[in-house]
Chain A
Amino acid sequence: MDYFAQQLINGLVLGSIYGLIAIGYTMVYGIVGMINFAHGDIFMIGGFIALITFLILVSLGLTMVPVILLIVLLVAMAITALYGWTVERIAYRPLRHSFRLAPMLSAIGMSFVLVNYSQIAQGARVKPVPPIITGGYSLFEQDGFVVRLSNVQIIVVITTIVLLAIFTWLVARTRLGRDMRACEQDQTMAALLGVDVDRTISMTFVIGAALAAVAGMMYLLYYGLVDFYMGFVAGIKAFTAAVLGGIGSLPGAMLGGLLIGLIETLWSAYFSVEYKDVAAFSILIIVLIFRPTGLLGRPEVEKV
């Protein structure tokens, strides 16, 4: 029971990170109808920028951890958001009315560009950082096994919840959110009614990238390392999460992320660590076979 409780905590924390990335996939798919293959690598870029900002701040002699974290968060979000904007502007916007596979292939190309750019710019080796946030609480103890909740885990979960609240408000209440929902339903009609479609789509990518940057920073805090290849697997898993929750649905993406995080952690804990990725990918295939619309998604009408 205690071992299970510990895995549950770990799984929920990992799931929060996946959920943050999955939102980027699901938003873009909802509006543009394409899989943003490079999104996982945007997450990786976010991790790198957080790492570099953190190093600079520490070497400048800043010691207050909350201030450092806040600055790192803001810088990572801002610069990564610009990456998201640039990727959309260069690789996707010219292809918006091209044939169906073109944006997908362009996204694969962009993913290669981002991965190899990071590898060339920052080297191929894994970048470890010392634990930034230490300490935690022992929740309860049973048969000598202590169930622990670390401060990092608390921060990850709280940040995720706060960001989700802001984000939900953004989509539900603001002008931008209304534009986004309008574009999702019918781009031509939205344009006729005065919605700037180009700008709305750009903003979707910007927000998705900013959330991915937060995920990247949380990953850095939680695991204490980044490397240039981490975006690929994390990206597929987050996409799996988005599909599991029902692509196009925002609560679904978060739910899917939590489920994938839990499944992965529990699988590693009780079966085998080696096959945890196989488990996640198998779930993707199984979900698509039996429930292609996901848990919270709407069924898609096939048009001739």
Chain B
Amino acid sequence: MTAAGVTSTASEPRLASRGPGIAFILKKALISALVALVLFSLMIGIRTEAGPTGQLIYWTRFGDLAAMVAAVFGGSIAIELLRQWWGPVGTVRVVPKRVQGVMALAGRAIAPLLLIFALLVPVIFYDQRYILDLGILVLTYVMLGWGLNVVVGLAGLLDLGYVAFYAVGAYSYALLATNFGLSFWVCLPLAGILASFWGVLLGFPVLRLRGDYLAIVTLAFGEIIRLVIINWQSLTGGPNGVSGIPRPTLFGIPLAPGPNGLAAKLGIEFSPTHRIVFLFYVILALALLTNWVTIRLRRLPIGRAWEALREDEVACRALGINTTTTKLTAFATGAMFGGLAGAFFATRQGFISPESFTFQESALVLAIVVLGGMGSQLGIALAALTMIGGFELFRGLEEFRMLVFGIAMVLLMIWRPRGLIGHRVPTVFLRHSRAISSDLVKEGHG
């Protein structure tokens, strides 16, 4: 149906094809509305709820049903019109030379500008706690995205259980700090090491698995970690979580009121904002560390091996690359950054519970990596900003948030499966660099 509509507009001048299209558009919209009517008839038209006596009662909502069907009808027409206006899929839009030049300049300038802006955020928004908190949240996801990017973007291994390493890092710090009184800066590397240990542990069994299987096993792994955390109550506190996690200190000086606090030592008045600003710079430093390590690793043989593995595993083996160690180091490195981010999360929140480490979290980080173009550092940073910022817009509409997230993910895959911003280019290439066509590669295959 759609193919016919698009080709007819492609071969003829745009305006001329409008006329005969209307009947087609209406017919299509009617069919969509009919399907929607059946789909929503019971789910939206009828609302069930446990009544006062415990018995289920129901009432009808035909108004909502009619509204939804009308929305589908209108939406279907709008989409079809947009499609005709946009032209057939795959058209290359010619961009003028000058615009191209400006865009290239902007592309080069955006990363340093973004970095300077990030450094200045606590200065500019010193009084706005909300923006600082949001900034910390965004940076946490930037770091998680960059960490997962090592596994998914560079090595091409689809990991749906990344949140497990985040959880391992968070619980490592929380338990070490509350049980043994270790400080944040001692626990941070420990959390990283423990998480990467779990990364290797997960890596071993899945070495032989192909893309989809790998995804489902990592998902199962993430769920196992979460279920163990919930049920091992004597260690983790179960669903109640761990509370009273110590805040980080600056070389042993707490950022707290009182004579021993940093404010008193510096002779300035104490303000709770100090700690927020400090946390902001800690996560910024951690994220930049992740970025720097990734960029450096890409220039080492191991980074080259990751990219080679992503492009073609069979060729990789034929060239004598040890795929076992290559995959394991990818898992371990990615997991380590997840663990570091987890430790930071624990110290920022002061309280953690298994609820923070659900599959939704993994999917969110994965969506950031995919949206960012899988492999592009800048793309992932922008994607995290867009996603977390977008989530904030839906604050107060809590239950619609994940619905919109799901719809966005589907639409994104249809519209730009390679990500919004970046496109991946191998670090080394023969003569000239070029983006790789999707049908030439098999991600996570082998």
CB distance from B395 to the nearest CB of A (A): 16
Question: Could you say which of B46, B224, B406, B412 contacts A52, with CB atoms under 8 Å apart?
Answer: B46
Number of A-B contacts (CB under 8 A): 189
Measured CB to CB, the closest approach of chain B to A263, in angstroms, equals 14
Count of chain B residues with a beta carbon within 8 Å of a chain A beta carbon:
68
Q: Which residues of the other chain, A, contact B438 by a CB distance below 8 angstroms?
A: 98-99
CB atoms of B211 and A86 under 8 A apart? no
Interchain CA distance A98-B89 in the complex, whole Å: 13
Fill in one digit per residue for B46-73: 1 if any A CB lies within 8 Å of its CB, else 0: 1111100011101000000000000000
B212 A34 Cβ-Cβ under 8 A: yes
Q: Which A16-69 residues sit within 8 Å CB-CB of chain B?
A: 29, 34-35, 45, 48-49, 51-53, 55-56, 59
Establish whether residues B46 and A56, one from each chain, have CB atoms under 8 Å apart when the complex forms: yes
Contact B406 A288 (CB under 8 A): no
Q: Do residues A123 and B35 form an inter-chain contact, with CB atoms below 8 A?
A: no
Instruction: Given A101-B443, A104-B158, decide whether A109 and B359 contact each other with a Cβ distance below 8 A.
Output: no
B216 touching A284, Cβ below 8 Å: yes
Tell me whether B39 and A53 are in contact (CB under 8 A): no
Residues on B with beta carbons closer than 8 Å to the beta carbon of A48: 42-43
A97 within 8 A of B: yes
A7 to B414 Cα, complex, angstroms? 46
A83 CB within 8 Å of chain B: yes
Query: Which of B50, B221, B224, B402 has a CB less than 8 Å from the CB of A128?
Result: B50
Also in contact, A109 and B406, with CB within 8 A (given A95-B413, A277-B223): yes
Contact with A49, one of B35, B43, B58 (Cβ below 8 angstroms): B43
Q: Do residues B402 and A116 form an inter-chain contact, with CB atoms below 8 A?
A: yes
Is the pair A59, B39 in contact by a Cβ cutoff of 8 Å?
Answer: no
Whether A56 lies near B58 (C-beta < 8 A) is yes
Determine how close the nearest CB of chain B comes to the CB of A52; give it in whole angstroms: 5
Contact A79 B213 (CB under 8 A): no
**Known pairs A82-B39, A120-B400, A121-B44; A284 contacts B409 (CB<8 A):** no
Chain B residues with Cβ below 8 Å from A156 are none
**Contacting pair B54 A128 (CB below 8 A):** yes
A-contact bits for B293-319, CB 8 A (1 contact / 0 none):
000000000000000000000110000
- Flag whether A94 is at the interface (Cβ < 8 A): yes
Q: Is the interface of A mostly helix, strand, loop or mixed?
A: helix
Answer yes or no: B103 CB below 8 A from chain A CBs: no
Q: Is A304 among interface residues, defined by CB-CB distance under 8 A?
A: yes
B320 at the interface (CB under 8 A from A): no
Q: Whole-angstrom distance between the alpha carbons of A219 and B388 in the complex?
A: 37
A186 within 8 A of B: no
Provide the bound-state CA to CA distance between A272 and B160, in Å: 27
Which residues of A in the span 241-285 have a Cβ within 8 Å of any Cβ on B?
A: 243, 274-275, 277-278, 281-282, 284-285
Q: Is B223 a contact partner of A281 (Cβ separation < 8 A)?
A: yes
Q: Give a binary string over A92-115; 1 marks a CB under 8 Å from any B CB, 0 the rest.
A: 001101111111111011111111
- Residues of B contacting A105 with CB < 8 Å? 366-367, 370, 409, 413
**Nearest Cβ in chain B — how far from A136, in angstroms?**
23
**Least CB separation from B405: chain A residue:** A112
Measured between beta carbons, the chain B residues less than 8 angstroms from A55 are 46, 48, 56, 58
- Say yes or no: is B264 at the interface (Cβ < 8 Å to chain A): no
CB of B446 within 8 A of chain A? yes
Check B41 for interface membership: any CB of A closer than 8 A: yes
Whether A177 is near chain B, meaning CB under 8 Å from some CB there, is no
The answer to whether B43 touches A127, judged by C-beta atoms less than 8 angstroms apart, is no
Binding site for A on B (CB under 8 A): 35, 38-39, 41-44, 46-50, 54-56, 58, 158, 160, 205-206, 208-209, 211-213, 215-217, 219-221, 223-224, 227-228, 230-231, 314-315, 359-360, 363, 366-367, 370, 399-400, 402-403, 405-410, 412-414, 417-418, 438-439, 441-446
27 A-B contacts, Cβ less than 8 Å apart?
A: A48-B43, A49-B43, A79-B41, A82-B38, A86-B35, A95-B414, A99-B441, A100-B211, A100-B443, A100-B444, A101-B443, A101-B444, A103-B413, A105-B367, A105-B370, A109-B406, A110-B410, A113-B406, A119-B399, A120-B403, A232-B359, A240-B220, A243-B213, A274-B230, A284-B217, A285-B205, A289-B205
The list of the 8 closest CB pairs from A to B, nearest first, reads A109-B409, A112-B406, A113-B406, A116-B403, A99-B438, A281-B220, A106-B413, A109-B410
